[in-house]
């Protein structure tokens, strides 16, 4: 890792050496098979078949790996990355510990698929308490948690997992590698959905797994090659292009989240406000010590589904949409997806709109709801 600052690292991560007449980021390579050496065969080049390797995907993996501080493998989506990692590591008879308040589809996959193949599935809230880890093969945490935004002390949990012989996997989707570097904090693996803030333009699906362990990387790579859960070349190219503005996007999103948290904290019709950057937030003591920057996502409760719908309808700059981390501010009522949250719970993802405009718009929409 260089001594460059985040903005510089994002702009240059994974790019080839400059060459006259060549673009900064080479265009996507669209190929299923490639020409092979008649004598050396697949040993003569990494590009033999597109499912196993692709130069556009390799550049993206190099770029994300630079930011995360490890080696990376890209997947077709964040869910593909997480499920592929779990299935490549866990075997029948193993025990896995998952976040009780993390991404709902991961919990559903564990109870419906992992348990069905003989994996013992345990759950613990992100903020703890955590059970005795003796006999646990893998601990997965999502921090800050989605959608509740609790934060776990990663060095402390990593030490506990290491002492018990368990692998620690950190879902870094909400924080991104600019907000948190789990591998430096003791995690064995990092996994994330690149669909969200990492690429930030709401125009592609992407996931990745990162690690400093050659053995774990090989297992994940074999799984991906055998199942074919790879991103397309154009999605990989779009993702790499988008990384250059990550530092700039996150800075505005964090500033918008801080301003909206201050506004929401003063609203009588708003309850359950969570943003780990607020000194009043229960996650703040750990977050301020561990996170390199606060996320652009916050959550709160408007009481019921009707009030949420009226809030979004009244807002000019807030769109109703799922996912988060994009350029546009969005509100997602998580209960509509079957997530176990109250009916009025809102996950608000701050976009990159002007902070003054966004605060004014949200304040006006809340006044309509209040009326």
For residues 212 and 327, membership in a common domain is answered with no
Contact between residue 66 and residue 196 where contact means Cβ atoms under 8 Å apart: no
Residue 182 has pLDDT above 70, yes or no: yes
Q: Are β-strands 71-75 and 138-142 bridged in parallel, bridged antiparallel, or unpaired?
A: unpaired
pLDDT at 339: 85
Quote the pLDDT of residue 42.
87
Q: What is the pLDDT of residue 340?
A: 86
Mean pLDDT of 176-200: 98
Are 195 and 253 within one domain? Answer: no
Q: CB 354: neighbour CB atoms within 10 A? A: 11
Q: Confirm whether 79 is domain-assigned.
A: yes
pLDDT above 80 for 2: no
- The whole-number pLDDT of residue 327 equals 98
Residue 233 shares a structural domain with residue 275 = no
In a domain, 322, yes or no: yes
Q: Which of 208, 223, 243 is the last residue of a domain?
A: 243
Looking at the structure, do residues 230 and 252 belong to the same domain, yes or no? no
Q: Do 254 and 238 belong to one domain?
A: no
Please report the pLDDT score of residue 3 as a whole number. Answer: 85
Q: Do 86 and 114 touch, CB atoms closer than 8 A?
A: yes
Structural domain contains residue 161: yes
**Which of 219, 197, 200 lies closest to 73, judged by CA?**
219
Final residue of a domain: which of 203, 224, 243? 243
User: CA 356, CA 228: separation in Å to the nearest integer?
Assistant: 45
Tell which of 243, 278, 305 closes a domain: 243
Asked if the structure places residue 201 within a domain, the reply is yes
Rg of the Cα atoms in the chain: 21
Handedness of CA 79, 85, 88, 93 (dihedral sign): negative
**Does residue 365 lie in a domain region?**
yes
Q: Which domain holds residue 318?
A: 247-370
Q: Is the model's pLDDT at 1 over the cut of 60?
A: no
1 inside domain:
no
Q: Which helix (H) or strand (E) holds 333?
A: strand 330-333
Q: What is the mean pLDDT of residues 274-283?
A: 98
The sign of the dihedral angle between the CA atoms of 301, 307, 313, 314 is negative
Statement: the pTM of the whole predicted model exceeds 0.75: yes
User: Same structural domain for residues 259 and 313?
Assistant: yes
Overall size of the chain counted in residues: 371
CATH code, domain carrying 166: 3.40.640.10
181 shares its domain with 310: no
User: Burial, 2: exposed, middle or buried (Cβ in 10 Å; 0-12, 13-18, 19+)?
Assistant: exposed
The answer to whether the beta carbons of residues 62 and 71 sit under 8 Å apart is no
Sheet holding 120-124, edge to edge: 71-75, 207-211, 189-193, 167-171, 138-142, 95-99, 120-124
- Answer yes or no: do 315 and 233 share one domain: no
Q: Is residue 20, in this structure, part of any structural domain at all?
A: yes
Q: Is 332 within a domain?
A: yes
Mean pLDDT of 245-261: 98
371 pLDDT exceeds 60? Answer: no
Provide the number of structural domains found in the chain. Answer: 2
Query: Is 278 found in the same domain as 320?
Result: yes
227 and 269 share one domain: no
Q: pLDDT tens digits for 328-366?
A: 999 999 999 988 899 999 999 999 999 999 999 999 999
Q: What is the CATH number of the domain that holds 362?
A: 3.90.1150.10
Q: According to the model, what pLDDT value does residue 338 have? A: 85
Mean pLDDT of 103-121: 95
Convert the pLDDT of each residue in 6-65 to its tens digit: 999 999 999 999 999 999 999 999 999 999 999 998 888 989 999 999 999 999 999 999
Which tokens is 271 given?
A: 């309850």
**Is the same domain home to 13 and 140?**
yes
Residue 246: which pLDDT band, with cuts at 50, 70 and 90?
very high
> Do residue 90 and residue 148 come from a single domain?
yes
Greatest CA separation for the chain: 77
């Amino acid at each position: 890792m260089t001594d460059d600052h985040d903005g510089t690292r994002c702009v240059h991560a994974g790019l080839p050496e400059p060459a006259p007449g060549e673009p900064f980021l080479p265009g996507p390579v669209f190929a299923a098979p490639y020409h092979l050496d008649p004598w050396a065969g697949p040993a003569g080049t990494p590009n033999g078949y597109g499912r196993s390797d692709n130069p556009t995907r390799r550049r993206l993996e190099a770029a994300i790996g630079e930011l995360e501080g490890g080696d990376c493998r890209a997947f077709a989506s964040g869910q593909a990355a997480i499920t592929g990692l779990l299935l490549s590591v866990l075997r029948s008879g193993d025990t896995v510990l998952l976040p009780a308040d993390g991404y709902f589809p991961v919990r559903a996959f564990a109870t419906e698929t992992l348990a069905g193949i003989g994996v013992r599935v345990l759950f613990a809230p992100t903020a703890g308490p955590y059970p005795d880890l003796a006999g646990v093969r893998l601990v997965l945490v999502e921090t800050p948690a989605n959608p509740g935004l609790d934060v776990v002390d990663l060095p402390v949990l990593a030490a506990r997992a290491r002492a018990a012989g368990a692998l620690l996997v950190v879902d870094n989707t909400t924080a991104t590698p600019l907000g948190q570097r789990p591998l430096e904090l003791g995690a064995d693996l990092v996994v994330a959905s690149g669909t969200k803030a990492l690429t930030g333009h709401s125009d592609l699906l992407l996931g990745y797994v990162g690690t400093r362990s050659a053995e774990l990387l090989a297992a994940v790579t074999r799984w991906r090659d055998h199942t074919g859960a790879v991103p397309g070349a154009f999605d990989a190219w779009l993702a790499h292009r988008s990384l250059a503005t990550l530092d700039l996007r996150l800075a505005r999103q964090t500033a918008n989240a801080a301003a909206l948290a201050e506004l929401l904290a003063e609203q009588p019709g708003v309850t359950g406000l969570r943003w780990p950057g607020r000194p009043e937030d229960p996650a703040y003591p750990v977050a301020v010590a561990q996170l390199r920057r606060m996320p652009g996502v916050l959550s709160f409760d408007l009481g019921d589904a009707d009030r949420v719908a009226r809030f979004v309808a009244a807002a000019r700059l807030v769109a109703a949409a799922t996912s988060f981390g994009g350029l546009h501010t969005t509100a997602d009522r998580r209960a509509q997806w079957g997530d176990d949250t109250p009916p009025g719970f809102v996950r608000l993802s701050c976009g990159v709109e002007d902070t003054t405009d966004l605060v004014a718009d949200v304040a006006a929409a809340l006044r309509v709801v209040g009326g």
